[in-house]
Amino acid sequence: MAGIGAVLIKAFAFVAIIAIGYGLKRIGFFHAQDFYLLSKINLKLTLPAAIIANFSKISMDVSMLIVCVIGIGCNAATMLVGYLISLGKDKSEKAFDMLNMSGYNIGSFTTPFVQNFLGPVGVAATSLFDTGNAVMCTGINFTVASMVSGEDEKPSPGRILRTLLSSAPFDVYVVMTCLTLLKLRLPVAVVTLAETIGGANAFIAMLMIGIGFEIRADKEKLKLMVRILTVRFGMAIALAVGFYVLAPLELEVRQAVAICVIGPITSVCPAYVGRLKGDVELASAINSLAILIGVVTTTVGLVIML
């Protein structure tokens, strides 16, 4: 098990990489569009490789699929709370709160932490949580928010399925889960290649976060940001404690689920807010601030649990 010092040192390293990415953007070494290039590398290469490498080291039974259901349930719960805290507001504000309360940034944020401290079983549990999370984040959350806002765009089940299947991490989650449940193993050469590429996942993910980091908001919007993030992370801490203490799962799985729920909001949220003609700048600021808070909550969570 990792000690407190090891957790803090690794968390500092992650924060330092984020700061380096942000600093290099500010001096012109990186530009805003470079975020999208690194995002492609992360989502299409390093994250899928990390998933393959870690799934190849474990065995798993069907009972672990409950973690997928937990990922779906946590999204549904945060969406509901987002709706409840916006009662009395107009439809667009309800939709905004629902989107900014829901979803988890697992692949780019949580997985690098889990990769370093919880081992293959923890990464597998995180991947299963993200499978359920992806089902919600890539379609269902937006569908519900669009219905609440009164917008005409209501994605069909077929469109949601196509969106899911176009996601490389989701496809790899599904394939590797099936192979692991069936006790089938990939060739050693494939696993070795995946381990080499996946080893860069944490660095690419954190550098990408730093390049995309931006906070701009006036005092009125700042109040809204504080309200949403206070409720979101207050609920996250309650869920993390509940899963860690009460869930009838093995320790490493409970640790992984707890870390998943105290992480930041999904990075696709600002894009969905834009599609509903909402305040994209405010959603981006909330997303960036959630990353800072997520670093703190994730680090503290690891220190307590390890």
Give the pair of three-digit tokens for residue 288.
């960036």
Instruction: From first to last of the 306 residues of the chain, give the pLDDT tens digit.
Output: 456 777 788 888 888 998 999 999 999 999 878 888 888 888 889 888 988 988 888 777 788 889 999 999 999 999 999 999 988 888 889 999 999 999 999 877 898 888 888 888 888 899 889 888 888 886 788 888 888 887 655 556 676 677 677 778 888 888 988 898 888 999 999 999 999 998 898 898 888 888 888 777 677 788 889 999 999 999 999 999 999 999 999 999 999 999 999 999 987 788 788 878 888 878 888 888 898 899 999 999 998 997
How crowded is the C-beta side of 232, counted as CA atoms within 13 Å? 31
Q: Tell me the C-alpha to C-alpha distance, in Å, between residue 65 and each of 107, 118, 196, 263.
A: 18, 18, 28, 21
Q: Return the exposure string of 197-224: e unless at least 16 CB atoms fall within 10 Å of the residue's CB, then b.
A: bbebbbbbbbbbbbbbbeeebeeeeeeb
Q: So what's the pLDDT on residue 189?
A: 95
Q: So what's the pLDDT on residue 1?
A: 45
| Phi, psi (deg, nearest 5) at residue 265 | -70, 150
Q: What is the pTM of this model?
A: 0.83
Q: Among residues 7, 229, 215, which one has the least CA distance to residue 100?
A: 229
With a CB cutoff of 8 Å and minimum separation 6, the contacts of 67 are 125, 128, 129, 132, 249, 253, 256, 257
- The CATH code of domain 4-305 reads 1.20.1530
